Amino acid sequence: MIPTLYWEKDAVMILDQRKLPGRTVFIPCRDMRRVIYCIQTLATRGAPAIGVAAAMGLALAAQAIRVKDPARFRARFRERAEVMRAARPTAVNLSWAVDRCLALLDVGPDNVETLKAMLRRESQIMLDEDVAINRAMGRFGAELVPDGATVLTHCNAGSLATGGYGTALGVVYAAREAGKQVAVIADETRPLLQGARLTAWEMVLEGIPVRVAVDGAVGAIMSKGLVDLAVVGADRIAMNGDVANKIGTFNVALQAQRHGVPFYVAAPLSTIDPNAASGADIPIEERDPREVLELAGKRIAPSGAQALNFAFDVTPHDLVAAIITEKGVLRPPFTQSLGKAKAAA
Ligand code: MRU
């Protein structure tokens, strides 16, 4: 699998996902602003990948702080951390990663150079841990995938959206590694086409049969009996099991309920937000109207028309059959199962 992001000497190399599937280009980031640019423009995207990118960006920020006094270093680092936290609002992994770096700062020694080295090491640990978590999640999720199954997924929750291997697509990979035949239907995922461009690309690279469908076809496809299960990722999960994920996920879940197709969410425990009691507490990103009003840079809607461009929606917990995590498959009632899993984490 092609790496999503990695350290190369003093630079964070970020795969520019805007160019996929046509070109494989890495953006060298030597300062935090460049990393934020990559996060905001979706050069790198997907909740776990955003978290790792944030940690790497903060390690770059730390490196650039030229003071020797630990107290002043900590104060400046905290300012940078809040800038990073604001890069994108919905994926809680971003805030989670920032808090993890800040916690390290609190327990670290009073030596600025050591703190800088610790922050860089922590970002690499977070990357490695993410891959291990995704593999564990995949193994639990694979048990829910029957041999010969067709899995419908929305957006891209694959290797590209994480440090590697993926969450929803990790389930697909693990099912195949367990010897099962699996095929995928990828919703194209308007407006930025993460399904058509990224999920389909990953599937083709991995030799997994994939068909791309327009988002509006979900109901028709399910009514024809073409889908055995739906598996998606998540940007933030509230403690009652409400799930924020790419816009259109709610529609998939509704159609799944209508057609008796199990709807699963695969996400690490870091995506569960202990501060969100329900979906109403999850901030939903609104993006540039041009993403909707234009196609490949060309205006498709008449001038004068405006756009609604919510990047995410919230799927109510009663539509979710289970949440697949690295610690096991969590079932309703989610208030209990998520609470227990978070408390043990
Ligand atoms: O806007 P994006 O591309 O960052 O949105 C990504 C998604 O919605 C993913 O499904 C989610 O982050 C889970 S990634 C494992």
pLDDT tens for residues 305-332?
999 999 999 999 999 999 999 999 999 9
Kindly report the CATH number assigned to the domain that includes residue 336: 3.40.50.10470
Listed residue (231, 269, 226, 224) closest to 249, CA to CA: 231
pLDDT in the model for residue 44: 98
pLDDT computed for residue 42 by the predictor: 98
Shared domain for 166 and 307, answered yes or no, is: yes
Q: Which of 78, 110, 134 is the last residue of a domain?
A: 134
Residue 183 predicted with pLDDT over 90: yes
Same domain, yes or no: 174 and 204:
yes
149 plus 272 within the same structural domain: yes
**Mean pLDDT taken over the chain:** 97
What pLDDT is recorded for position 1?
A: 83
Is the predicted pLDDT of residue 296 greater than 90, yes or no? no
Q: Is the pLDDT score of 55 beyond 90?
A: yes
Q: What is the distance between the alpha carbons of residues 270 and 151, in angstroms, rounded to a whole number?
A: 24
For 205-263, the pLDDT digits (tens) are 999 999 999 999 999 999 999 999 999 999 999 999 999 999 999 999 999 999 999 99
Whether 332 and 201 share a structural domain:
yes
Helix axes 47-64, 112-142, angle to 10 degrees: 170
Q: Which atom of ligand 1 is nearest to the CA of 312?
A: 8
Say if ligand 1 is within 6 A of residue 246 CB: yes
* For residues 106-126, average pLDDT: 96
Active site residues: 235
DSSP H or E stretch at residue 325: strand 322-325
Q: Which of 231, 243, 245 to mutate to test the pocket of ligand 1 (most atoms within 8 A of CB)?
A: 245
C-alpha 179/C-alpha 158 separation (Å) is 19
At 220, is the secondary structure helix, strand, or coil?
Answer: helix
Tens-place pLDDT, residues 298-307: 999 999 999 9
Count CB atoms within 10 A of the CB of residue 179: 8
Within this chain, do residues 146 and 27 fall inside the same structural domain, yes or no? no
243 lines ligand 1 (CB under 6 A): no
Question: Could you tell me the pLDDT band of residue 51, with boundaries at 50, 70 and 90?
Answer: very high
Q: Both 154 and 284 in a single domain?
A: yes
CATH number at 79 reads 1.20.120.420
**Beta sheet of 149-153, edge-to-edge order:** 210-213, 182-187, 149-153, 229-232, 263-266, 322-325, 328-330
Centroid of ligand 1 to alpha carbon of 90 (angstroms): 10
Q: Please give the residue range of the domain that contains residue 322.
A: 138-344
Whether residues 104 and 145 share a domain: the answer is: no
* Proportion of the chain above pLDDT 70, given as a percent: 100
Percent of the chain with pLDDT over 90: 99
Ligand 1 pocket: which of 18, 45, 243 to mutate (most atoms within 8 A of CB): 45
- What is the distance in A from the centroid of ligand 1 to the CA of 76? 30
Dig out the tokens for 175 from the structure: 């099912």
* Residues 61 and 189 reside in one and the same domain: no
Number of independent structural domains in the chain: 2
Residue where a domain stops, chosen among 134, 164, 183: 134
Q: Vertex 231, ends 227 and 236: CA angle to 5°?
A: 150
CA–CA distance, 299 with 17 (Å, rounded to integer):
22
> Among 134, 149, 174, which residue terminates a domain?
134
**Does 285 share its domain with 207?**
yes
- Ligand 1 contact, 89 CB (< 6 A): no
Enumerate the β-bridge partners of residue 325: 328
